[in-house]
Structure 1
Amino acid sequence: MGFDVTTIAWYAAVCGALSGLAPSLGGLGLRLAIGGGVGVVAASVLPAIRGMMGY
């Protein structure tokens, strides 16, 4: 199972941008870091989920 760096970067960017709009998480830098982290985890888990589903 390989990792697609482009997919990971895309998820990190999208999640980071979305979290930047969530004022309840703290300052802008913290929100971007949390969102980017969530994006990296989501993109890293995606290949395993696809594999379990047979895709």
Structure 2
Amino acid sequence: MDPIALVFYAVICGLLSLFAPSLGGMVPRLALGAVVGIVAAALLPTLKALIGG
């Protein structure tokens, strides 16, 4: 994994973990985590292109 992807996903997961306990049970947290992961994976190529990575 390249450093840009590693840092990007670390930031996304860190921010998600700040809000996870307040989201309810396991199913809502799992669903939100999946959605955030999909969005993050979709945005990463665009962000890498913007920063010249």
TM normalised by structure 2 equals 0.58
The aligned counterpart of 2:5 is none
Q: 2:25 aligns with which of 24, 27, 32?
A: 27
Provide the rounded CA distance (Å) in 2 between the counterparts of 1:23 and 1:52: 33
* Higher RCO by CA contacts (8 Å cutoff, separation 6 or greater): 2
Provide the rounded CA distance (Å) in 2 between the counterparts of 1:54 and 1:24: 36
Asked if residue 40 in structure 1 is aligned to residue 38 in structure 2, the reply is: yes
More helix by share: 2
Deviation at 1:28, TM superposition (A): 0.6
Gaps of 5+ in 1: 1-10
Deviation at 1:50, TM superposition (A): 0.3
The aligned counterpart of 1:6 is none
Deviation at 1:25, TM superposition (A): 0.5
TM normalised by structure 1 equals 0.56
Number of corresponding residues: 39
Gaps of 5+ in 2: 1-8
Deviation at 1:37, TM superposition (A): 0.5
